[in-house]
Amino acid sequence: MFKKSIYNIIINPNNNDDYEKEFIIYNTYSSALAILNNELKKIYDNIEKVNNKSENEQFLFENGFIVDENINEYKKLCSDERLNRYNSKILNLTIAPTLSCNMNCIYCYEDNLNIKMNNEVINAILIFIDEKIKKDNIEKINILWYGGEPLLQVDTIKFLSEKIIELTNKYSIDYSSSIVTNGVLINENFRDFFRECKIKNIQITLDGLSNIHNKRRPLKNGLDSFEIIIKNIEYISKYINVIIRVNIDKENYKEISKLLDFFINKNLIEKIKFYFYPVVKKNTSACKVSSNNCLSTNEFKKIEKELLYKLYNTNNINSIHNLYPRRSPNFCTAICNNSFVIDPEGYLYTCWDYIGIKEKSIGTIFNKLNINNEYSKWLLLDTPIECSECKLVPLCKGGCPASRIATKNKYCCDPKLVNIEEKLKLIYYNYN
């Protein structure tokens, strides 16, 4: 006997009552998306009365829309998460070769210390990776280059990339890398740099057109950054995947539509992906964000919906980053046992929110990792019980671990999911 999955989202995409109407069905655990016609919808609605597994029932079962009546889906989800977060075969490293930055963003949550990575730390990182590979039989290494502004230390990134790639080739390990940068320092030489370092994705932030962006993300030397960044995006987007993050709050939300128009008019929209996110106040002493300037969930939901439909209505749906919602075993790698953030001095952290804050460190690259009190908070963090009946919990897992640790594991809904039904509709409209 079967029952409906508790993780199904069913949408009437055209909001009509026609007899021949279609329904969208999406399962947040399996990430399967399908269209139910009248016949299939009737079978689905009455699935508890069905004993056999015909072709239609098999389709619903294989995609996770229906499950065995005896299964506890939430326990299965929690078990799956634990198995994956303690998977030692994947090594995730966020490496910050410097905490220095050439910008002075209004919402920065870091102390931009003038610290860069020395040879002792660089060598220790390579030894650390080599020992991890041998000890845990690593099968994949993911590197994220971070900062400060990581491109202030191009030589360090190039040297470490070369040596890490040599190790992955030696042990036949999968390798991937990406970078978060403000985009100011990119020039014509970076085509070869990104290729040699096997950097496949680059994230750059823009907060509006020049008049808005330059106020929110000014260069420390007093010059404007917008025109420089746009020129660099035009160049580098020919050779690498560019993701533009747009941080939105009450001061700039009216300007983002103009930013999209700018990219459309310059014929750049097809070369990049957009990623919208609300400005949030981080739990660090360096964070300058005022809570009064942050958008509420409903405010951000309305704004993002308008931006998503603007891209769809201008035939630019493909420029929406991660439009199709896919389940990841964990909300982020911060709660995984083989995931580390490394600062320029060799201190290790779980989450990049706390990079440079030594009291949040879980050890150093020079010593054996200790399960201290700080590390235990992350490794033992479970999905809040309040989320157990939420359809979105396979995608959200209760939200940002850093926020939950700061609030005794109070759920923190993921902003990326506030418009999940609208995103599913756009996928349906685009398909049709």
Could you read off the pLDDT of 36-87 as tens digits, one per residue?
A: 998 899 999 999 887 777 888 889 999 999 999 999 999 999 999 888 888 8
Residue 112 above 80 pLDDT? no
This prediction's pTM: 0.93
DSSP assignment of 204-239, as one string? EE--SSHHHHHHHS-BTTS---HHHHHHHHHHHTTT
What's residue 16's pLDDT? 62
Q: How many angstroms separate the CA atoms of 314 and 230, rounded?
A: 21
- Any bridge partners for residue 66, and if so which? 4
Residue 322 above 80 pLDDT? yes
Q: pLDDT band at 347, cuts 50/70/90? A: very high
Q: What is the dihedral of CA 160, 162, 168, 169, to 10 degrees?
A: -170
Q: Please state, for a pLDDT cut of 70, what percent of the chain lies above it.
A: 96
What's residue 280's pLDDT? 86
Q: How many residues does the chain have?
A: 432
Q: How far is CA 278 from CA 109, 189, 417, in A?
A: 14, 33, 12
Residue 19 above 60 pLDDT? no
What's residue 70's pLDDT? 94
